[in-house]
Every structure is written in C-alpha cells, then in structure tokens.
Amino acid sequence: MAKLVIEGKHKLSGAVNIHGAKNSALPVLAATLLAKGTSEIHNCPMLSDVAASVRILRHLGCNVTRSGDCVTVDSLGLNRSDIPDTLMREMRSSIVFLGAIAARTGEAHMSFPGGCELGTRPIDLHLSALRQLGMEILEEGGRLECSVKGRLRGTTIALAFPSVGATENIILASVTAEGTTSILNAAREPEIVDLCNYLNKCGARISGAGESAITIEGVDSLYGCSHSVIPDRIETVTYMAAAAITGSTLTLKNVNTGHIATVLPVFREAGCTIASSGGELKISAPNRLNRIHTIRTMPYPGFPTDAQAPVMAMMSVADGTSVFIENIFESRYKHAGELIRLGAKIKIEGRVAIVEGVKRLYGSEVVSTDLRGGAALVIAGLAAEGITEVTQIHHIDRGYEKIEENLRGIGAVIKRVD
C-alpha cells in the first residue's frame, strides 16, 4: 500500500500551479454524453476520479483520448446505458451520469451508490427530481433501473436542499427535455456554473446558473465544443492552508479568488496576509496563527465543507481555541481522530468540533480517512516535528494531482513510498 512520508518543520516558498476543478471536470465529462460529436475538455486534472469517469465513458461506447490536460470525448458511438458496479463503487459521484445517460438513451441501469466515508449520502433528491421530469425509476435490490417513455418533460422542481449533485442531474436530464424546466433552491456552486457554460456552448439554453433559480429551455440536440475547466477552489484552499501552517509565503497561480471569497476572511483572521491579482494569489503567514472564532460550513457561497478539514489542521496549532460547525455532512470529522494522534487537541460534539491550538504537533503514522481529511493530515505533517506517515492515500489521489511533487517543488520534504 502506498503511503506519503513527510519530514515536517520545513518552510515552504515559491509557486504552485492550481489544477482544474475535480468537481467541475466530473459533471462536464458526464455532460459530454449529451453532445453528439466531439468535445475537448481542457484543464482537466489527472486524478483517479477523472480516470474513473473516462472508464465509464469508454464503457458506454465513447471514444476518449487524453493529451496533457485535454480530454477529448467523441460520444457518437455511444451504445450502452449501464454503469458497472465496480465503477459505481469506485466513485460515488458516478450518480451524476444518471441524468445524462437516461436523457441520451432513454434508459439507465446502475447500482445504488450507497453510503461512503462522509455518512449515508442519500440520493432521494436526485430520484424525486428525475421522476418529476417523467423518468420511471425502479429501486430494486440496490439497483436503479430507469426508463423514459419518449422524451423527458420540463417542469418546476423545488429542491428541499440545494444539493450539488441533484442540481447537476436535473440540468443534465432536462437540457434536451421537452419544454422548460425551472429549478428552485438550486445549488449555486461555481462548478454548476461551469457545467452550464459548457452545455450552453454545446447549444443548450440555460439561464440563472449561479443563482437559486435556474431555467432550462429544452433543445432538440447538442453538439460538441471546446471548454476549459475552472480552477479548483478546494485545491487552492489546501495549498493556502499548507502555507499558513508552516508560516510560509507562497504564490498560487491559476486561481479564481472570487470562488473563495468567504474563505479569505478566515485566513486573514488567522493572521495571514493575502494579495491577489490577475489569477494569482500570494499568501504570507505569521510564525503562529491566531485562532479563528467559528466556522460554519454552508452551501456556496458559504464556507465550503470541503475546506473544513484542511483549515482544521492549520487551526490545530493556532494560538487559542477555534470552533467548527459542520452543516453539510453528518460524518465529516474522521480526520480529527488522526490529527489527535499527531498531538492536536480536538473535541467533537455532534456537528461541533472544538479545536484548542497546541504549540506543536509530533510526527506519527496516521490513516487518510477520506479525500479532504487525507489532505488535512498531509498539511499537519508539514508542521509536525519528525516524520509523519500518511497511509490509505488513494483517497488523496482522488482529488489532488501530484500532491507530493507539488509540495516538494515548494520546499517540503515528502515522498511517496509504495
């Protein structure tokens, strides 16, 4: 089993290039199914989740090639409508293919994605919305058997919660539906906007993306186009946390600071200086961070749940006590137990985590519990005295391209051991 071995206490300096956003690339790749022709997706990160999406597209009959950061998908040969269980298990967000496969082929067959390391993660909002569009969905023995008689029909769908995945599935299913679909209480994440920008370039008629009400006027068909994925805002925050915890100055390139507007004040409150212009962000951190008061994770534009773990790692060595309230996922503090093994003082009470900053962390062997939790342990390891070994790093590889190479490039002492 591969692991990351980190020698802590080295200052970081220099620049990191931020990759394309995983959470944008996945729905955009699913959307390429709808475009009858060839789409070129640029700035596509090299991640295991992207590789899983490519395997799904190939399984469905698409011709997919990769050259550098560009993935080219020709969906003309699409001839299947199922996703194998192994791919559904490998990547829970495979569920975002459901709307696209059913819209293109009139049916979709896959296993239920089930729970994951963040909790039960139901898909009731996805299924209820797709049924409102006219899809017949049978849930039997852990499988989803979906069929569409004729075309899906546009309607008004009010989401009980602004689920990112459900919003994406509705958009993918309704873009070629008959009539107009309105999504009320839609997710407003930048990745939703990116998906709609791609689809509109392919001939879709979507307005309101990035707002709570999205309107989709169904069109007969879509054609391929060239699109560049937005920068990954969570990767950006992760490298900012790496700079903060090590008291370093770093430049991050290819960022969109507008997408992290509610995260920047948290770093400033912690004592960091941040300057940005023209897609670059420079962060300088003090030798000891201040505590931050309370961080509440919220749907966008609130503080992102995906940034909670990396920011918790940096607060574990701040001067004072910080409080986190996790409002999105029921079980998103598994990394806290591992941070405690490195010497952090963290108490969890339901959705609340109380982090009492300590003067120093000590290297130890820790287990990556999930994608962002794993990144938090790497960040903690950069500041810990001695050697930290992070195992189960397949979680980290789902969302961070070349994390150890990037960190070595800015002065960290880190290696991957197989």
Pick the closer one to ligand UD1 by CB: 117 or 217. 117
The one catalytic residue among 44, 70, 116, 146: 116
Chain residues in the site for ligand UD1 (CB under 6 A): 23, 26, 93, 121-126, 161, 163-166, 187, 191, 305-306, 328-329
Shortest reach from residue 158's CB to ligand UD1, in Å = 14
Pick the closer one to ligand UD1 by CB: 109 or 233. 233
Asked if 116 is an active-site residue, the reply is yes
What is the residue-wise DSSP string for 345-374? Answer: EEEEETTEEEEE--S--B--EEE--SHHHH
Using alpha carbons, list the distances in angstroms from residue 216 to 199, 202, 203, 320, 333.
11, 14, 12, 48, 37
Pick the closer one to ligand UD1 by CB: 161 or 223. 161
**Length of the chain, please?**
418
Shortest reach from residue 165's CB to ligand UD1, in Å = 3
d(CA 60, CA 84): 10
Specify the DSSP element, H or E, that contains 169.
helix 164-174
Structure letter (DSSP) for residue 222: B
In which residue are the tokens 């696209």 written? 100
Shortest reach from residue 272's CB to ligand UD1, in Å = 24
d(CA 353, CA 178): 47
Shortest reach from residue 114's CB to ligand UD1, in Å = 12
d(CA 40, CA 35): 11
What is the residue-wise DSSP string for 284-353? Answer: E--SSPBP-SEEEB-STTSB-GGGHHHHHHHHTTSBSEEEEE--S-SS--HHHHHHHHTT-EEEEETTEE
Pick the closer one to ligand UD1 by CB: 74 or 306. 306
**What is the token pair recorded at 56?**
């799904």
Shortest reach from residue 414's CB to ligand UD1, in Å = 24
Q: Which of the residues are catalytic?
A: 116
